[in-house]
């Protein structure tokens, strides 16, 4: 395929957001923002990817203004004058290179304490029913599970209202500093996802019970953000079947169940579903070749974004146990699915660490870089 005719390089418009191609830098926690403040090195890190041709950057997870949003002091915040000024410099640097950028707003919910054991014991993790979730296939060590598994107090109505307000403030502040839209981390067992998952949400009030009621909290967050930012900017929502607590977990066992979840979120204001899975091209439901991103688009009519092991032979979890991840040229399969309209965007994570000019590499048809976590995860380049 002629590279300039590749579906990877077709422009796309999402509300007021105009993208020069379909390549997105996927959110990846980097922990290079001491005190929650992104510095000049973070601005340069994102600028280089925009200069390399990537159309849209979804930032690493960014803490909303809530006491238990994140437990890592080097994860950036979306609150406080210093952090917001730092983000303004990041946004300006990306825009100067013709790129666009949205922040991924984050609350870890039940997974509070997973990044560090040095957390304030007086703070209660935000859990719908006080449950961490049934542990299954997980990469967490036994020492963390021992701390995390005891049941805590369920979220109160005031807790729920406070968290919704914190998301709303973060979204408003993000737009004020110049971001092009808002992304939400609603997967992997974190707070928004924990309301969807029946292993963590056993409530019997309006916020839990059947699947429809389990969508109400994340939908309330989306609705509050839509009201706060208006109709111009898009909202992205990352969702997943798997959880950090159990990589084999599912929030939807059938397409009809997935429709219930995603339709509620689309009605609340989501424009793009970021379908997080370990391999972007793996079928999700029996009897269909459709990917998770493909099902999101088919069931809702909204735009969708695929992610997972683009150009890489190992999943993220596998590469963390094995170090390097040899190249796997699945770009033709990616282009086929994009061309057929199965999904609209492709988010690429690890290859963006290995090659800041990844979009140009793909445009020129050059060899894909090899990702090695021992090299590419340890520095901010």
Active site members: 190
- The Cβ-side half-sphere exposure at 10, using a 13 Å CA radius, reads 13
Of 161, 373, 181, nearest in space to 271 by CA:
181
DSSP string covering 112-144, please? TTSS-S---TTSPP--SSS------S----HHH
Q: Is 148 helix (H, G, I), strand (E, B) or coil?
A: helix
DSSP string covering 247-315, please? TT--S-SSHHHHHHHHHHHHHHT--EEEEE-SSTT---STT----HHHHHHHHH-SEEEEES-TTBSS-
Query: Is the CA virtual torsion 320, 369, 344, 95 positive or negative?
Result: positive
Q: Contact at 8 Å (CB) between 331 and 339?
A: no
Beta bridge partners of 371: 325
Cα separation, 126 vs 22, whole angstroms:
35
Beta bridge partners of 13: 18
How many other C-beta atoms lie within 10 A of the C-beta of residue 82? Answer: 14
Cα separation, 235 vs 268, whole angstroms:
10
Instruction: Check residue 368 and report its DSSP letter.
Output: P
Q: Contact at 8 Å (CB) between 27 and 104?
A: yes
DSSP string covering 13-82, please? EETTEEESSSEEEPP------GGG---HHHHHHHHHHHHTT-SEEEEEEEE-SSTTS-S-TTS-BS-SHH
Q: Is 329 helix (H, G, I), strand (E, B) or coil?
A: coil
Query: Is the CA virtual torsion 316, 376, 57, 219 positive or negative?
Result: positive
């Amino acid at each position: 395929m002629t590279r300039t005719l590749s579906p990877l390089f077709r422009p796309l418009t999402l509300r007021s957001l105009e993208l020069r191609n379909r390549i997105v830098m996927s959110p990846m926690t980097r922990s290079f923002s001491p005190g929650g403040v992104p510095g000049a090195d973070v601005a340069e890190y994102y600028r280089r990817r925009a200069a390399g041709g990537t159309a849209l950057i979804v930032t690493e997870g960014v803490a909303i203004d809530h006491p238990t949003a994140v437990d890592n002091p080097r994860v950036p915040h979306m609150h406080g004058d210093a952090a917001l000024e730092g983000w303004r410099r990041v946004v300006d640097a990306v825009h100067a290179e013709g790129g666009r950028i949205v922040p991924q707003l984050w609350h870890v919910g039940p997974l509070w304490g997973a990044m560090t054991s040095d957390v304030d014991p007086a703070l209660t993790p935000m859990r719908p029913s006080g449950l961490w979730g049934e542990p299954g296939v997980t990469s967490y060590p036994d020492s963390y599970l021992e701390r995390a598994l005891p049941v805590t107090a369920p979220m109160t109505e005031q807790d729920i209202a406070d968290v919704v307000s914190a998301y709303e403030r973060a979204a408003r502040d993000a737009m004020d500093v110049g971001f092009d839209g808002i992304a939400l981390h609603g997967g992997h067992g974190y707070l928004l996802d924990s309301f969807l998952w029946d292993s963590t949400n056993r409530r019997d009030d309006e916020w839990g019970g059947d699947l429809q009621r389990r969508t109400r909290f994340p939908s309330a967050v989306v609705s509050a953000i839509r009201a706060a930012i208006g109709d111009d900017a898009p909202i992205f929502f990352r969702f997943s079947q798997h959880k950090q607590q159990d990589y084999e977990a599912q929030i939807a066992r059938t397409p009809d169940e997935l429709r219930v979840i995603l339709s509620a979120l689309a009605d609340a204001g989501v424009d793009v579903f970021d379908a997080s899975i370990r391999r972007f091209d793996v079928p999700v439901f029996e009897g269909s070749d459709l990917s998770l991103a493909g099902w999101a688009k088919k069931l809702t009519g909204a735009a969708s974004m695929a992610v997972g092991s683009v150009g890489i032979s190992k999943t993220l979890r596998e590469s963390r146990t094995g170090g390097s991840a040899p190249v796997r040229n699945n770009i033709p399969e990616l282009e086929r699915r994009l061309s057929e309209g199965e999904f609209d965007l492709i988010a690429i994570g690890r290859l963006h660490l290995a090659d800041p000019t990844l979009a140009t590499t793909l445009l020129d048809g050059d060899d894909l870089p090899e990702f090695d976590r021992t090299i590419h995860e340890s520095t901010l380049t």
